[in-house]
Amino acid sequence: MVGFMLLGLAWILVYYISGSQFPIPGLGGWNLGIGLGIALIGFLMTTRWR
């Protein structure tokens, strides 16, 4: 759960710091959506935490 949230955050940070060159240059703005989606998976997993 924490891994997904950190991976999503790292994906977004790499996207912004690299100036849209990384992680996947061909996707452009969709990299932001992918990072948010990965982080969202982590947040959804927290609702199942016991």
Query: What ranges do the domains of the chain cover?
Result: 2-46
| Measured distance CA(42)–CA(16) in Å, rounded | 21
pLDDT at 50 over 80: no
Direct distance between the N- and C-terminal alpha carbons of the chain, in angstroms, rounded to an integer = 12
Distance of CA 42 to the CA centre of its chain: 10
pLDDT in tens, 14-37: 999 998 888 989 898 899 999 999
Q: What is the pLDDT of residue 20?
A: 82
Instruction: Confirm if 2 and 49 have CB atoms less than 8 A apart.
Output: no
DSSP, residue by residue, 10-39: HHHHHHHHTTS-SS-GGGTTHHHHHHHHHH
Q: What percent of the chain has pLDDT over 90?
A: 70
